[in-house]
Structure 1
Amino acid sequence: MRVAAQKGSDEDKGFKTSPLVPAFTRRRELTLGRVAALGFAFSLVGELLTGIGPITQLHYETGLSYRVVYLLVGALAAYGLVGAALSPATRDPRNQADVAKRQPANPLQEPRRFLAQNEVLIGRLAMIGFAGACVLEYVWGGEAPLVHLGLVQPATPLVHAPWWAIGLVLLFIANGLGVFSAVGQDDDQAF
């Protein structure tokens, strides 16, 4: 049993609040960023292979109507925005102290810590990318954003996908699996 690996108190593990309470905490941002990164990566792969956007992909995979899929995605986004803007748990001094632990790191002086912090940034980009793809798919009448912009052709085999698309997919998958955090974590430094 690796009890020694669990050093530090609950305070070191981050601020906790009920999952039912919308809040913007360091732990939730990391977790949701990883989920968003995986979701965005898979939506990019789906768009490359099929030429359809994320909402249509969710519609086909779940069998839910477009209206229900948009409502669910919108409700999740609203829950996060309410938690960030209005929740007392977000403004709780213990949460603010926990969020303050994430201080900028110089990539030349602390490359491992810089990688771990970039996991949060990449997660945020994935959230924005997925939300943007959903909005653009709606605005463009169901057409996938990358196809609409002419950046990819529908039904592109992955081996013929543009290098930047493959790079984005790999970046977001690595982020979603926590690779940057694992590489960037020092044994004596809690991020």
Structure 2
Amino acid sequence: MAQSMLLSSLSGHPLASKRDPLLQSLRPTPFSHLIFSQTPRKELSPSSSSSFTPTLAVFKSKAKAPPKKLEKDAKAKVEDGIFGTSGGIGFTKQNELFVGRVAMIGFAASLLGEAITGKGILAQLNLETGIPIYEAEPLLLFFILFTLLGAIGALGDRGQFVDETAGLEKAVIPPGKGFKSALGLKEGGPLFGFTKANELFVGRLAQLGIAFSLIGEIITGKGALAQLNIETGVPINEIEPLLLFNIAFFFFAAINPGTGKFITDEEEA
């Protein structure tokens, strides 16, 4: 009797499990099944492997961003005078170049005159010398002050030097154009590479020379050469060669047109 009941219960269990799938899904999975269970590998069938084709992803290259357009910098203002006075009186480097040329000619002529006559600049003009500086003529003191300020650029050296553009056509000298070309020099333009910037510098030196020679002559009564103990009052053929060279150099620098130009804010290079 007990055996028949056990067999009937065992035989009825699968039927109940088949009839109640909902109960099967709700039944918890044993922990041992989770540990020892292995997922079977799926073997690819020959048909599936033969029909397999790799898929290649085509990526479009990233377009480069257009370069940012740099805004043109505002036009840089050219250099101003030491005390910023160029905007007030309009004294440019071109004006200073003219003053420097006049100073070079005046300084060279005064040196030549003193070497021949033995008199300084003021003595040649019959002005009183050998006096304290505060007793000098007011106009002479103003001239000395103007020359000194111009020599250091304090009057306002507004402007910027722009040299001439160099190129192959500038460097190559065509043969048979004249005496300068035969010597290897440029046929046109200045004889040497003397720019207006160099000329401006030499002009400032001449202005300083005139100013200090005048100050020295006012106080000592001696000209520029006498202050340096150079022999004066001699014929021109007996003048010191170095002095003659300096005089000739200042004359040449004053009349020689330098290359390049000076521009201001209102002009274009």
TM-score interval w.r.t. the shorter chain?
A: 0.5 to 0.7
State how 1:16-55 maps to structure 2 within 5 Å.
22-55=89-122
Structure 1 residue runs without a partner (length 5+): 1-20, 104-108
Identity of aligned residues (%): 29
Higher relative contact order (CA 8 A, sep 6+): 1
CA contact (8 A) 1:37 1:175 kept: yes
Q: Cα distance 1:163–1:22, how it changes in 2: closer, same or farther (>3 A)? A: farther
Q: Cα distance 1:56–1:69, how it changes in 2: closer, same or farther (>3 A)? A: farther
Q: In structure 1, how many angstroms separate the alpha carbons of the residues matched to 2:106 and 2:210?
A: 8
2:161 aligns with 101
Q: In structure 2, how many angstroms separate the alpha carbons of the residues matched to 1:24 and 1:76?
A: 16
Aligned residues: 143
Q: Cα distance 1:102–1:47, how it changes in 2: closer, same or farther (>3 A)? A: farther
Match of 1:172 among 233, 240, 250: 250
Q: CA deviation at 1:135?
A: 1.0
CA contact (8 A) 2:136 2:218 kept: no
CA contact (8 A) 2:111 2:224 kept: no
Q: In structure 2, how many angstroms separate the alpha carbons of the residues matched to 1:157 and 1:51?
A: 11
CA contact (8 A) 2:112 2:247 kept: yes
State how 1:82-121 maps to structure 2 within 5 Å.
84-85=153-154, 90=156, 95=158, 99-101=159-161, 114-121=194-201
How large is the RMSD of aligned CA atoms in angstroms? 3.2
Q: Normalized against structure 2, the TM-score is what?
A: 0.45
1:163 aligns with 241
- Aligned letter for 1:101? F
More helix as a share of residues = 1
Q: Normalized against structure 1, the TM-score is what?
A: 0.61
2:125 aligns with 58
1:9 aligns with none
Q: Cα distance 1:35–1:137, how it changes in 2: closer, same or farther (>3 A)? A: same
